[in-house]
Amino acid sequence: MKKFLESLAAATDENTLVDFCRRRSLHGTPAVFDGNEDAYYEFRKRISERFEISFHEVFITGSAKLGFSPHKRKLFDYDSDIDIAIISAELYERIMSSIHDYQMELRENRKAVSYFELKGYHKFLEYGAIGWMRPDLLPTSFRVHELRREWFDFFDSISHGKSEVGNYKVTAGAFKSYAHLERYTLSGLRSLRTTLQVGAVNAAADKA
């Protein structure tokens, strides 16, 4: 984690940051499958077959990929989730199109939604605008229908020791394209890099 943070802070230009993002955050075998490529393949295959996409379009991101959370400064452990990013324009559009009827019901005041559910739904729409579909932010009143069966039940079925990934909770979202996943990951790295650089400047000032 220390090496990761030091390298990120040193990535001062955009090209270097993009290369860092691809090399460290997106490319390679996730830490959770370190030394077990066959299990990683089977896990990706399991997900890809369920959603009828290529296994190359299934990514593990976050602390399960790196072995730590650089944002939380915390090592990956059994309290961590396995975060899955599925890259599929077809899947993304199919799920987003199912939002249409729900949105019309809200518009016509035919759907009762709590303040907290509505707040989560607005956040869902914000993520959708940047190409990331997150079903976990949908109101419960929506999730109990087709998304509940097609999405949450499936990922529950491969969590907590019921698949190759081991005793972890598996969560997932769908990105419209690889470019959307990369841009989102880059955004988080830019923010973290700024925090690191500001911290370094403040530390230097304190020493002075």
User: What is the rounded average pLDDT of the residues 145-154?
Assistant: 79
81-87 and 169-175: which strand pairing? parallel
Q: How far apart are CA 64 and CA 47, in angstroms?
A: 16
Cβ partners under 8 Å of residue 63, min gap 6: 69, 72, 74, 75, 76, 80, 83
Q: Give the relative orientation of helices 89-97 and 99-107 as an angle to the nearest 10 degrees.
A: 30
CA triple 141-147-150, angle to 5 deg: 150
Number of helices (H) and strands (E) in the chain: give both, helices first: 11, 6
What is the pTM for the complete model shown? 0.87
User: What is the rounded average pLDDT of the residues 191-202?
Assistant: 81
Q: What percent of the chain has pLDDT over 70?
A: 93
Q: Confirm if 162 and 153 have CB atoms less than 8 A apart.
A: no
Q: Confirm if 65 and 84 have CB atoms less than 8 A apart.
A: no
Per-residue pLDDT tens for 172-194? Answer: 999 999 999 999 999 999 999 99
Cβ partners under 8 Å of residue 191, min gap 6: none
The domain segmentation of the chain, as residue ranges, is 2-207
CA triple 55-44-152, angle to 5 deg: 110
- Going by pLDDT thresholds of 50, 70 and 90, the confidence category of residue 165 is very high
For the ranges 21-25, 125-129, 140-144, 204-208, which has the lowest average pLDDT? 204-208
Q: For position 203, what pLDDT does the model report?
A: 58
Q: Is 5 helix (H, G, I), strand (E, B) or coil?
A: helix
Q: Which residues of 122-149 are buried (b: 16+ CB within 10 A; e: fewer)?
A: eebeeebeebbbbbebbbeebbeeebee
Q: Exposed/middle/buried for 176, CB within 10 Å: 0-12, 13-18, 19+?
A: buried
